[in-house]
Amino acid sequence: MKIIVTETYRELSIKAASLIAEEIKRCKNLVLGLATGSTPEGMYAELVNFYRAGNINFSGVVTFNLDEYVSLEPGHPQSYHYFMRRHLFDHVNLAPENVNIPSGCAADLESECHAYDAKIEQAGGIGLQVLGIGANGHIGFNEPDSSLKVHTHCVNLTEETVAANSRFFETPDQVPRRAVTMGVGSIMKAAKIILLASGSGKADAIRQTTKGVVTTSVPASILQVHRDVTLIVDREAAAQRCLL
């Protein structure tokens, strides 16, 4: 696990965007796994800057997002579909047919999950997966539990995650209690992974993700056994990290 510690959130965002840009230069048909949450917002802004400056071309890139809330329509301002359009898709030359986000509104969510995994496989698997991390160590919406699911699945969100994400909604009651998420298997099959964390609220999760123990009570800790993971963390998030 490689750990890059940055002085600022801006530096973290530029570093993450630069790694993605390099990877797209290396492989113009990159299959790129994307994350939502406030942490990658700066990275998306930098990617849009790179695109406007003519330094990145998304025309051959295929994207797969990690997750979506169950029951939020793609037009809902708090849906991850909407987030991705607002922060990236509306501003760059990604082909709409190359963009994939699991539906949280499919009539048959189980089939939707199977179909999503099949589509990732058909695309050749994820080349580079971007991750954020929950304060409780979740990745995507793989919550701490006694076991972790391998494939894309529906999950009941923990009260902690509902509380953390309620800042995006008018009231906590509006936060969906369920989500569709890629499983840890789909994430771990990615050839490369970058995980972003910013702020002191993530320091304990980063400590637990880097301390040499894999536990389902900290889902991100499984990343320690992946062969190509880069953590990009600012100083606050890195404050308690363990040096592996």
**What does the alpha-carbon distance between residue 219 and residue 146 come to, in Å, rounded to a whole number?**
10
Contact string 152-171 vs ligand GLP (x = CB under 6 A) = ---------x---x------
Q: Which two tokens stand for residue 240?
A: 């308690």
**What does the alpha-carbon distance between residue 50 and residue 18 come to, in Å, rounded to a whole number?**
9
Q: Look at residue 113 and give its three-state secondary structure.
A: helix
Told to check if 50 binds ligand GLP by CB under 6 A, we report no
Q: Which is nearer to ligand GLP, 102 or 140 (CB)?
A: 140
Residue numbers 10-49 binding ligand GLP by CB under 6 A: 35-39
Told to check if 133 binds ligand GLP by CB under 6 A, we report yes
Instruction: Read off the amino acid at residue 30.
Output: L
**What does the alpha-carbon distance between residue 84 and residue 134 come to, in Å, rounded to a whole number?**
19
Q: Pick the piece of the chain touching ligand GLP (CB under 6 A) from 44-52, 127-135, 185-193, 204-212.
A: 127-135
- Residue choice 3, 19, 30, 66 for contact with ligand GLP (CB under 6 A): 66
Q: Which two tokens stand for residue 232?
A: 């990009």
Q: Which two tokens stand for residue 83?
A: 């987030």
- Residue choice 127, 132, 137, 183 for contact with ligand GLP (CB under 6 A): 132
CB of 38 to ligand GLP, least distance (A): 4
**What does the alpha-carbon distance between residue 80 and residue 101 come to, in Å, rounded to a whole number?**
8
Q: Which residues bind ligand GLP (CB under 6 A)?
A: 35-39, 66-67, 132-134, 140-141, 161, 165
